[in-house]
Amino acid sequence: MAGTLSSMTTFRGLATIRYHADDLAAARAWYTEVLGLEPYFERGEYIEFRLGDHLQEFGISRTPSAPVGVVAYWHVDDVDAEMARLLTLGAKEFEPLRNYGDFRAGAVLDPFGNILGVMHNPHYLEVVSARG
């Protein structure tokens, strides 16, 4: 039934949006100017900003000339089980599950060619807890 939360729902909320750039340093400089703030997290070929009223996460990965779109990562409590479930339902692995410090994430291509990311994100849980 549309609009009804089912006990099967594992997608709890949007955790991170990720863009891509060939030149991460240039993207960092440009988005720092656009957003008016420095990234709060930088590791290897990835940077991330927290912005907006709910401190939403916006990340940028260095991805040399790969034809990809935006990746929206949805918070799930058990990222390994959710990734396995998506693959069972016909999705194809796009990015294998990886650890990013406290975060664990991966992405699939859905049967229609869209990139769908899943993530266990402690920051998401902190924001939810703070809201009570």
Give the 3-state DSSP-derived string for 27-89, with helices as H, strands as E and coil as C. HHHHHHHHHCCCCCEEECCEEEEEECCCCEEEEEEECCCCCCCCEEEEECCCHHHHHHHHHHC
Distance CA 83, CA 117 (A): 9
Boundaries of every domain in the chain: 13-131
Distance CA 106, CA 51 (A): 23
Could you tell me the mean pLDDT of each successive run of 10 residues in the chain, 132 residues long? 57 86 90 92 93 87 71 92 93 93 90 86 86 72
Give the pLDDT of residue 127.
83
Give pLDDT, residue 28: 93
pTM of this structure? 0.71
Instruction: State residue 90's pLDDT score.
Output: 92
Confidence (pLDDT) at 4: 53
Q: Is domain 13-131 given the CATH code 3.30.420.40 in the classification?
A: no
The reported pLDDT for the residue numbered 111 is 82
Sheet holding 46-51, edge to edge: 41-43, 46-51, 56-62, 13-21, 71-75, 115-120, 103-109, 92-100
Q: How far is CA 122 from CA 15, 40, 74, 114, in A?
A: 9, 15, 12, 25
pLDDT for 48 equals 94
